[in-house]
Amino acid sequence: MIGRSERMCSAACLELMHAEMVSYFLSARETRESAQKEMERLGFRVGQKLAERYTKDYGRITEPMEVLRFIFSDFWPVVFSKPPDSLTTNNNSLYYIEDTDFRWTSKISVTSRTTLEDASYFLTFPCGIVKGAFAALDVDADVKADFQETPSRCLFTIIFKGKAIPTR
Amino acid sequence: MANFARSGEMAFLKADKINSEIFSLTYGAMVAQIMKDYEDIEEVNRQLDRMGQNIGSRLIDELFAKTGIPVSSNFMETAEVIAKVGFKMFLGITANVVNPTPQQYSLTFRDNPMVDFVELPDNCANLRYCNLLCGVIRGALEQVQIKVECHFVRDMLRGDETNEIQVRFLEQVRESALDQSFA
């Protein structure tokens, strides 16, 4: 498993820091769109660096399908603390990764004051991370995420651009 | 004191953990962005401290909940709890308490996962890269009614041989006064 020998710190630190980052961008930027764009860009850079580090002893992954498999089974469990639940597709360019207990958002409580829409800003940075990881492995993909009723159930949609995934 | 070290170890063992490089890269990306947003480096330091304060006020709840250490508002006692329990259970490292007095103490540590992969560019001599930590300590102590001033006096990123955070006691806040300020 990648990153196993690395040193660890508490997940609470990362969760709280991420929450501070989200509130920093939402208050420092004039529009929510620009806040989201920048958080995604930051996540992208982090994801790129992580994927580069994690694949350095891995041999070269070239096939988009291998990259997807790498992200699903190796990258995700390390970065998001647990393996995702399922990987599905509806056609050649749309793939779905479902995580029913997504640790980066699972502690958010949705109340009358915090809506699911507010909580969705917490998905922007993680989407950027995944997108950056694909980019580091030469796959141009767009990544979106939505909550499935609660902030702990997340569905990530991977849209491949450019290089199409060959059907097998 | 040995008990605190053990409580810290146990809490860290039981905690949900992540690779610290995810934390350090995320933090680094955030610091870089804040530096782009503010020309004044002192303002960057303030922003990091403020973010830390919010984090600290949440982390201390977790510390008490997970370790069962009794809540203490004695300033000098907080030093060991922060150094041996707080640093350990959240960052996986421990700090040493240096020169504790009823007015101030220092926390020194060399190992720091926050700075893995960090190289400061030349143009940010006054940046306190880890100022978030000062805010965390300040925010945490505020929750136990202790107001402190907290800053880095030595920083390995700037060539010092160790990291040293100085914590200076300002005042004990009466609970009733705190309640009023939240009212």
User: Could you write out the three-class secondary structure of chain A?
Assistant: CCCCCCCEEEHHHHHHHHHHHHHHHHHHCCCHHHHHHHHHHHHHHHHHHHHHHHHCCCCCCCCHHHHHHHHHHHHHHHHCCCCCCEEEECCCCEEEEEECCCCCCCCCCCCCCCCHHHHHHHHHHHHHHHHHHHHHCCCCEEEEEEEECEEEEEEEEEEECCCCCCCC
Q: Could you tell me which residue, B182 or B74, shows the higher pLDDT? A: B74
Domain extents for chain A?
11-160
Question: A60 Cβ partners below 8 Å, 6+ apart?
Answer: none
How far is A76 from chain B, CA to nearest CA, in Å?
Answer: 12
Region of residue B145 (phi > 0: left; psi between -120 and 50: alpha; otherwise: beta):
left
Name the pLDDT band for A167 (thresholds 50, 70, 90): very low
Number of domains in chain B: 1
Q: Compute the average pLDDT of residues B111-139.
A: 90
With a pLDDT cut of 70, the percent of chain B lying above it is: 94
pLDDT of B118: 83
Q: So what CATH class is A11-160?
A: alpha beta
DSSP string for residues in B47-92: HHHHHHHHHHHHHHHHHHHHH-PPP---HHHHHHIIIIIIHHHHHS
pLDDT of A4: 56
Which of B16, B55, B90 lies closest to A81 in CB terms?
B16
Q: Give A 71-130 residues with CB within 8 A of chain B.
A: 78-79, 81, 103, 125
pLDDT of B183: 45
Interface test with B, best of A10, A40, A75, A129 (most B CBs within 10 A): A10
Q: Do B22 and A42 touch (CB under 8 A)?
A: no
- Closest CA in chain B for residue A17: B55
What are A7's two structure tokens? 């040193």
Which of B27, B47, B92 lies closest to A8 in CB terms?
B92
ipTM value for the complex: 0.91
Q: Do B34 and A46 touch (CB under 8 A)?
A: no
Interface test with A, best of B9, B14, B26 (most A CBs within 10 A): B26
Could you list the residue range(s) of the whole structural domain that residue B174 is in?
A: 2-182
Sheet holding A94-99, edge to edge: A86-89, A94-99, A150-160, A141-148
